[in-house]
Amino acid sequence: MVEPANTVGIAVNPTPLLTDELDIVIPTIRNLDFLEMWRPFLQPYHLIIVQDGDPKKKIHVPEGYDYELYNRNDINRILGPKASCISFKDSACRCFGYMVSKKKYIFTIDDDCFVAKDPAGKAVNALEQHIKNLLCPSSPFFFNTLYDPYREGADFVRGYPFSLREGVSTAVSHGLWLNIPDYDAPTQLVKPKERNTRYVDAVMTIPKGTLFPMCGMNLAFDRDLIGPAMYFGLMGDGQPIGRYDDMWAGWCIKVICDHLSLGVKTGLPYIYHSKASNPFVNLKKEYKGIFWQEEIIPFFQNAKLSKEATTVQQCYIELSKMVKEKLSSLDPYFDKLADAMVTWIEAWDELNPPAAAAAKA
């Protein structure tokens, strides 16, 4: 049985990394008391809280945190008609926080994620590890059997091409979870008591051409490199599918990262996932996706972007056209989703003008 770390008595990190360059995005419908546990590691950073559900509900944030909070009324006010691309009553609303941030890096975490312990019993500073992942290169073109060669104590193994050892920029750091695994509803129903107790001390680059099921509850990314593609789709209220928001974004970003020669890492850091969601509720949200994914995944595996697509926005628009052309026959929802992908990019560029982004770079 694994337990979360006890961070009482741990001082706030006096030398946090990238405090002026990173925002923490949290989607929520409840008070954020879980931040008390994270105070030693997260308090020095700016929070962007995206409140889902009833905008009249008051969300309590522990004292001492610097934050801005957006509810549905704010989203409608800021985006106008384009607010239709932001999901309602679904954690996919978090991507609005990605859009309004002005920082280079984003770390996003769910409010049922607590601080994990490593095998030695030490509290894991998940954000610090994400930052280390993002600041080190990735190696997507040739797999290193000692996993991340850029970590302290590791290197490239014999036979690894010297021409590839410089690596590429890392766009995404995908963390994992102790306790409650990120299972789909059928697996939850078959294994209701299963808990993840294995802490694997490893980080690896996901190879080029390989997709993965991205989970949004412990995730960091370089907003400048891949931000416009981190759209979590149309999910939740009024949509025929839920709980595929982060996976949709993951499939999109992986195709684009492969095309633009960017890296995606997975493994460390771990968080402690405290609460299992209701598998019957999940099944109602997921059941169409469980069938659809058998066609969606081959679609992404075969998606080829043009040489003319040299920016994330251009890649994403090309993908949206492919979605409309190839997946609309699966269900009319995908025609709507393809339009929402275009609306998302338009809204992103309005809040983050390309000229301003170029000047920042």
Residues 6+ apart with CB under 8 A from 161: 142
Is-contact 35 58, C-beta < 8 A?
no
Residue 357 has pLDDT above 60, yes or no: no
**Are the CB atoms for 177 and 273 separated by under 8 Å?**
yes
pLDDT digits (tens, 9 = 90+) for 312-324: 999 999 999 999 9
158 part of a folded domain: yes
Residue 13 lies in a domain: no
How high is the pLDDT of residue 359?
Answer: 46
> Helices 245-260 and 312-326: crossing angle, nearest 10°?
120
Question: What is the residue range of 186's domain?
Answer: 22-351
| Tens digit of each residue's pLDDT (9 = 90 or more) over 126-161 | 999 999 999 999 999 999 999 999 999 999 999 999
Residue 279 lies in a domain: yes
| pLDDT, mean over the chain | 96
In a domain, 7, yes or no: no
* Residue 44, pLDDT score: 98
pLDDT number for residue 356? 54
CA separation for the pair 33, 35 (Å, rounded): 5
**Are the C-beta atoms of residues 51 and 57 closer than 8 Å to each other?**
yes
Each residue of 206-219: pLDDT tens digit? Answer: 999 999 999 999 99
The span from the CA of 343 to the CA of 320, in Å, is 10
Asked if residue 154 is part of any domain, the answer here is yes
Residue entry with tokens 């607590």: 114
Please check whether residue 3 lies inside any domain of the structure. no
Residue 257 belongs to some domain of the structure: yes
What is the model's pTM? 0.97
Separation CA 121–CA 302 (nearest Å): 44
29 assigned to some structural domain: yes
The alpha-helical segments, DSSP class H, found in the chain are 35-42, 72-79, 95-100, 126-135, 185-190, 223-226, 245-260, 279-302, 312-326, 333-351, 354-360
Number of domains in the chain: 1
Can you give the CATH number for the domain in which 58 is found? 3.90.550
pLDDT digits (tens, 9 = 90+) for 75-126: 999 999 999 999 999 999 999 999 999 999 999 999 999 999 999 999 999 9
Residue 1: band (very low, low, confident or very high) from pLDDT cuts 50, 70, 90: confident
